[in-house]
Amino acid sequence: MLACEGVHVPVIIQFLDWQDYSDQYIMVLERPTPCMDVSSFVENNGGSVTENTAQYIMGQATYAAQICCQRGVFHRDIKMENLLINPDMLEVKLIDFGCGDLLKRSAYKEYMGTMNYTCPEYFEWGQYYGMPATVYSLGVLLFAMVCGRFPTHFDLDQIDEKSWSKDGLTEECCNLIEACLQEDPDGRIDLDEILDHKWFQMESQYVSIQYI
């Protein structure tokens, strides 16, 4: 409810109604059509997508994450399976707030989410902060979309040294991946700076996303 408060934002699934029963809640959500999750979309495209397509999906996912945080919500499970996409228009919607929490300034010490997208500070220190963790999950999302796999320890070591690259990817794309996936959360790009990154200034074949 909190994520949908205020001005309607198309990149977040709309919460339409709810009923409270003694043993369950019933939620009525928007049902976009046609749609599939981004994981299925990527699989249908041969296991990875072009930078152009990734740029458009990543932009919308980042915008959804920013709006959530602005409204005091920590989604905590941004991943391909939790992003619906219209395969014709490439319109994206963030879904499934089941791992979510209120965004707070203090550290989270309980893990919720998907292991492949988990920030390294949780494993190292047993705690993490909402905004840097969100940036890390977005970095994993981008990596998985353009590489067709999750980053390995070898990838992450190179990323941390800012020496990672992949044939077929632009320098700008590799740079954003490195900026999001730094091991030190203080070394990551800020969530509010992602959409200003030079990768998003590159010409895309798709219509520009209109951000509020």
The catalytic residues are 77
Burial (0-12, 13-18, 19+ Cβ within 10 Å), 189: buried
How many CB atoms lie under 10 A from the CB of residue 26?
9
Task: Locate 35 and state its tokens.
Answer: 């749609």
* Encoded amino acid at 122, one letter: Y
Residue 119's contacts (CB-CB under 8 Å, 6 or more residues apart) are 128, 132, 133, 136, 137, 185
Distance between CA atoms of residues 170 and 50, nearest Å = 11
Per the CB < 8 A criterion, the answer to whether 74 and 66 are in contact is no
Number of H helices, E strands in the chain: 6, 7
- Burial letters 149-182, b for 16+ CB under 10 A, else e: eebeeebbebbbeeebeeeebeebbbbbbbbbbb
